[in-house]
Chain A
Amino acid sequence: MRTEAMLEGSAKTAPGHNGGTTRRTLAGKVIFHLRRDLLLYLMLIPVLAYYVIFVYKPMGGLAIAFQDYSLFKGIRGSEWVGFENFERFFRSPYFFRNLKNTVLMNVCQTLFAFPAPIILALMLNEVRNYAYKRWIQTLTYLPYFVSVVVVAGIVTNFLAPTNGFINIVLDKLGFDKIYFLTLPEMFRPIYIISFDIWQNIGIGAIIYIAALAGINPELYEAAGMDGAGRWRKMWNISLPGIMPTVLILLLLNISNFIQVGHEAIILLYQPVTYETADVFSTYAYRTGLAQGNYDLGAAVGLFTNTVGLVLVVIANWVSRRFAGNGLW
């Protein structure tokens, strides 16, 4: 995948055209490369400056996770308290709730949202009418292009207690109206259906469609000759053909396991649904930014990001070991 491309490419760094006959000193080498590629290095400076200032420097700011941080005293003036913030978080009732919600959200996503684009791609693959296929694809990409805020707005208004579209339909069908967004048990289905499935099914299918297009058509012909029907072909040719792609995406999914995006959840949840909706990232946002517990919020962030990193490394190792293919 993307990271793999990065690291794989980097590994093949050519030694450069230094002739290799004369042994140079380190300083000599540096001068040689600087003179030859000065412009390239100069070009990199603003980019590296960006990464240093906006990405790496805040990592230093993670130190406040180990402090009793005061905005006025800053990192230098605040008192060090070791793992106190982490202990506070792990002991609080929120830790278990966040863990449960994060894991459950991910399990539901993997079970229901992850297969959805695969199924869509397999179904599209069976469509012979090219124009019809294009239309379906175009319409299913559409929700991806509107913002999370607009999707949340549509969801909020469609599910509104009295005049929302869904409740009007329920009413006409003779059911009671439901105030969906205040019911904790409805949060996960609402979130997964609207953001993970409705908004992303089309765009998610692209990569599988590409993988399906890469399968040798002779395989299908040969199978047809042997009397295989549609299902057999799908099961024995299409599915194995996209399996590597499925595995890589599943791997990415697992590596994001602890980080459920906060942007969309923050838009839809409310205090009555925190019970099922609150995950690590939303808790870090709420406690850290909204309530000003910067140190605690940073500790929660450091915890999830570290676990996330460890999960990527493990998932990658497992994948390389058993599927022979990883992110790097």
Chain B
Amino acid sequence: MSSQKKKELFPYFNAILLGVLALCCLYPFIYVLSASFSSSDSVQAGRVWLWPVEANLESYAKVFEQKQIWVSYGNTLFYTIAGTALNLVLTIMGAYPLSKRRLAGRTAIGFFIAFTILFGAGLIPSYLNYKDLGLMDSRWAILFGGAVSAMNLIILRTFLQEIPEELEESAKIDGAHDWRILWQVYLPLSRPALATIGLFYAVGHWNSYFMAMILLRSESKIPLQVYLNKIIVQLQVPEEIKKTMDVMPYSPETVIYATIIVAIVPIILVYPMIQKHFVKGVMIGSLKG
């Protein structure tokens, strides 16, 4: 009897626990959002829990006053778009030939690329290499630095390999040359895989900060994440806000929360669209072995 009852209770218990867990994932975002719209006093006094208290747009005004956030936003957009385009072109150029079983030297080239997943030079020699190449404080460093990911190349190669070779043969019989076969047969068929790895690359560019932090010096070139690091992690009050602080005592918390919101809005907006592809990508990447 009691075990029968337990069986009936379990689904509810499970569902509630999962709900709590999901809320734990969501709540920090809700809090940051509400705090960013609230008055500084109410945040400091701990009166903000769910909804904005004494709602105002002052902190957003302060965020948008800073030119640097726009500059770094623009840079991130540039790195994301140009970088992803370059990534995709190079990944296709690597994956397509390697997906042909007839290609002589395929094993060796494949190993040459896959080995880089297992062993790398590490941070210091890579940094010095950028220096040697004259890429310090250069936008090219950010674009070229991670131009191909071996993982993504392997994902795409595996995908292309599964497209039947007969398609290529029949296209050849119809007189198509190699470029055309790639462009009109293979690429349209691999759209899902391309969307997936394109997303991996794009999100990677959007979120990356470390190499930009060590390679770029000029504020005109730094991406959003490097700027965010200064404001929201190292808590350095931006110069432009400092000036107004002398006039009026101001706490930076709400500005920081507003900065976080401004930084994640694009991702949250596209999130519903990219989620599905991303999930698929994780599965292609992990299960196809």
A216 contacts partner chain B, Cβ-Cβ < 8 Å: no
Query: Once the chains bind, are B120 and A37 in contact (CB under 8 Å)?
Result: no
A207 to B209, CA, bound (A): 27
Chain-B contact segment, one of A57-65, A94-102, A104-112: A57-65
B155 contacts partner chain A, Cβ-Cβ < 8 Å: yes
Query: Once the chains bind, are B7 and A39 in contact (CB under 8 Å)?
Result: no
A150 / chain B contacts, CB cutoff of 8 Å: 228, 232, 260, 263-264
A171 / chain B contacts, CB cutoff of 8 Å: 46
Query: Once the chains bind, are B129 and A54 in contact (CB under 8 Å)?
Result: yes
Q: A58-B128, A158-B28, A229-B7 are in contact. Are A301 and B110 (CB under 8 A)?
A: no
A138 to B29, CA, bound (A): 14
Q: Quick one: CB contact mask for B16-52 with A, threshold 8 Å, 1 for yes?
A: 0111011111101101100000000001101000000
Query: Once the chains bind, are A302 and B122 in contact (CB under 8 Å)?
Result: yes
Query: Once the chains bind, are A55 and B121 in contact (CB under 8 Å)?
Result: yes
Query: Once the chains bind, are B288 and A62 in contact (CB under 8 Å)?
Result: no
B233 / chain A contacts, CB cutoff of 8 Å: 149, 152-153, 156, 267-268
Chain-B contact segment, one of A9-17, A182-190, A271-279: A9-17
Query: Once the chains bind, are B144 and A148 in contact (CB under 8 Å)?
Result: no
A221 contacts partner chain B, Cβ-Cβ < 8 Å: no
A223 contacts partner chain B, Cβ-Cβ < 8 Å: no
Query: Once the chains bind, are B283 and A207 in contact (CB under 8 Å)?
Result: yes
Name the residue on A nearest B207 (C-beta). A147
Cβ contact of A126, chosen from B11, B97, B207, B210, cutoff 8 A: B11
Residue among A61, A64, A123, A266 facing the most chain B CB atoms (10 A cut-off): A61
B interface, CB within 8 angstroms of A? 3, 7, 10-11, 14-15, 17-19, 21-26, 28-29, 31-32, 43-44, 46, 90, 93-94, 96-98, 100-107, 109-114, 116-129, 133, 144-145, 147-148, 151, 153-155, 157-158, 161, 178-179, 203, 206-210, 214, 225, 228-229, 231-233, 235, 251, 253, 256-257, 260, 263-264, 267-268, 271-272, 274-275, 278-279, 282-283, 285-289
